[in-house]
Amino acid sequence: MPAVQSRLVVRSFATLVFFTALAGQFWRNLLGWWGFGAIALVVFVGSVVLLARLKPDWVWAKFPRSIGVFLVITTLSIAWSFYPGASAIGVAVLWATTIAALFLALVLSWAELLRTLAAALRWVIALSLLFEVIVGAFVRQPVLPLWVSYPGEKIPDAFYWSRGLLFHGGPIEGIVANRNLLGFVALLAVIVFAVQLAARSVRRGWGIAWLAAAAVVLVLTRSATVTLAAGFVAIVLLFALWTRRRGPQRRRPVYLAAAGLIVACGVAVATLSPWLLSLFGKSEDLTGRLDIWASVTDLAVQRPAFGWGWVSYWVPWAEPFAGLASRKGVVYLQAHNAWLDVWLQVGVIGLLAFLTIVAGALWRSWFLAVDRPRTSVSDTAPYTVSALLPLLLMAALIAQSVAESRLLIEYGWVLLVLVSVTTKRQQVLNRPMP
């Protein structure tokens, strides 16, 4: 196969991988779990085959050891798991997702990564808007996922694929069937499209149109958690740009200002919580999250060191997850906090390994964003404006991890591994010449 066609196949498959990670619920609602399983199997097998055929440059010095440690801990947790069968499934899914992320990180150049991620995000944004228009203009009533049926007359709002509220100002759920998830995908799209525009890697009119579409979707989701995440990303961006302008020797005021802002935010949360919650339209229990966090904490302290066993996304048929987090007739299958979820599943040892992955990726992303490369490197290196992308992605993921557990599954884990591996490789390439 000619090289040009070969890279086209790789990029097309990478777009499918990104789309499946971002919109897994779309496949599940459209094709059911068996259909989604078939798509996931294609993604996994394709990733393995392309990794084997293309034989990307692989050096252990360029691979974050913290990811390996975390994978080992989660795998070993099957031995002490309270639900070994569910843990085996969860571990298999984690390894498969990791392999797909490694395909993206090791096979694609930095330009191809940006291009394929942007393409997948455009598909999610466009299909979500089209879907909501069809439901709102033609169906004119809430739509349930295909291949499912719910007993009883009263169906909770969370069960619907779309409630058809586009022409009522939202909130909209899009193809991912959840306004918080759609809002976060829209936030990722805003980040990626803005970076493409600033880097002049897309035509200006085309880039502005897609950026506007992503911003419209973000607003229409009316997600308070995503709004807060967007604010956090904006603050990180401002501090990164400020740090760039100061240069390596004059950054103390930046870091002092950042520390002061953290303290001020802590004081504001402690003293103005009721007012802040009402401002963002949240109840005092954070839409039930405080009760879920309390239940998860009570369970985690029973097995604090090693946890109950890795399971990734909670399985409703295994104890103690059945009924652990329920609200208004909906059983939630996550802790709504990635950190609590890791502690619950693999204890303090797993939490420390996970913290090392996130902290390492954030640390490398920060300095790659604010420092110039010290050596000449290939096109796999993020330059100039695009060097901000890993940092902004990490900021968004960390902000979301406080209220959602998506950092452990699908796009969250894929992006975390992707940023961790690509920044580690760049750090190695950036070492001073001997």
3 is a domain residue: no
Do 46 and 53 meet the contact criterion of CB atoms below 8 Å apart?
Answer: no
What distance lies between CA 280 and its chain's CA centroid? 22
Residue 299 lies in a domain: yes
Count, in order, helices (H) and strands (E) of the chain: 13, 2
Domain count, the chain: 1
- Within a domain: residue 2? no
Structure tokens at 165: 């509220």
Q: How far apart are the first and last CA of the chain?
A: 40
Asked if the structure places residue 245 within a domain, the reply is no
What is the C-alpha to C-alpha distance for residues 3 and 81, in angstroms, rounded to an integer? 47
Q: Does residue 249 belong to any structural domain of this protein?
A: no
DSSP assignment letter at 244: H
- Distances 290 to 107, 186, 267, 332 between C-alpha atoms, Å: 42, 26, 19, 13
* Cα dist from 282 to 35, 275, 288, whole Å: 36, 10, 10
Domain that holds residue 88: 64-107+276-434
In a domain, 138, yes or no: no
Q: Is residue 325 part of a domain?
A: yes
Nearby residues of 305 by Cβ (< 8 Å), 6 or more positions away: 347, 348, 349
| Nearest of 285, 345, 296 to residue 325 by alpha carbon | 296
User: pLDDT of the chain along its 434 residues, tens only?
Assistant: 555 557 888 999 999 999 999 999 999 999 999 999 999 999 999 999 999 888 777 665 568 999 999 999 999 999 999 999 999 999 999 999 999 999 999 999 888 999 999 999 999 999 999 999 999 999 989 999 987 777 766 788 888 899 999 999 889 999 999 999 999 999 999 999 999 999 888 999 999 999 999 999 999 999 988 999 999 999 999 999 988 887 777 788 888 888 888 888 777 766 655 655 555 555 555 667 788 888 899 999 999 999 999 998 888 888 888 777 777 667 788 889 999 999 999 999 999 999 999 999 999 999 988 886 654 444 444 447 788 999 999 999 999 999 999 999 999 999 999 999 999 888 776 643 23
Is 150 inside any structural domain?
no
